[in-house]
Amino acid sequence: MGFEPQIRKIVSQIRPDRQTLLWSATWPKQVQALANDFLTDPYEVHVGSLDLRANKAITQYVEMVTDYEKYPKLVQHMRNAANKGRTIVFVETKKGCDQLTRSLRGEGVNCRCIHGDKTQQERDQTLEEFRDGRVPVLIATVMRRIADMYRLLRAYLFTPCLLRTWPLEGLT
């Protein structure tokens, strides 16, 4: 698990009387061991199969940044990834999705956004333009409907003080 050292470092700096919540899309032995190290009397909720495994072709990078560093760092990533394939940036809110799209367009990034306040026609058109490569960067609030996208170069999670990158090269 590539992010385990960062999780251990973060948890070591939290007060011992904390309440800890842990979510995992998969539940392999490494995640179970990590949960056992940090959780006391855990309560488990399973949705779907316990046989799910992370795709070995995906490498995840975590960059801890201040709120002020987050946007310039994303712009740097966008420039480095320009003309190399499709990229998705996930944000938390619809307003944030629209704001980030406007800001990135101002930086010269060819991007569109998709979220629940868009009409079905706007969402379909945006996905079609993303699918066929006319728009290489998609800003989105949720991953559903995006799951049918393929040949992505990168996916980013743009949340407060955290920029996560998943290079997805080699996936089809």
Q: Is the pLDDT of residue 164 over 60?
A: no
- How many C-beta neighbours within 10 Å does residue 71 have? 16
Specify the higher pLDDT residue, 108 or 24: 108
Looking at domain 61-167, which of 3.30.300.30, 3.40.470.10, 2.60.120.200, 3.40.50.300 is its CATH number? Answer: 3.40.50.300
Tens-place pLDDT, residues 131-158: 888 999 999 886 544 544 545 556 666 6
Q: How many residues does the chain have?
A: 172
Tens-place pLDDT, residues 111-126: 999 988 889 899 899 9
Extents of the domains making up the chain: 1-54, 61-167
- Mean pLDDT to the nearest integer, 21-36: 78
Return the structure tokens found at 136. 């290489």
- How many C-beta neighbours within 10 Å does residue 14 have? 10
Residue 99, by phi and psi: left (phi above 0), alpha (psi -120 to 50) or beta? alpha
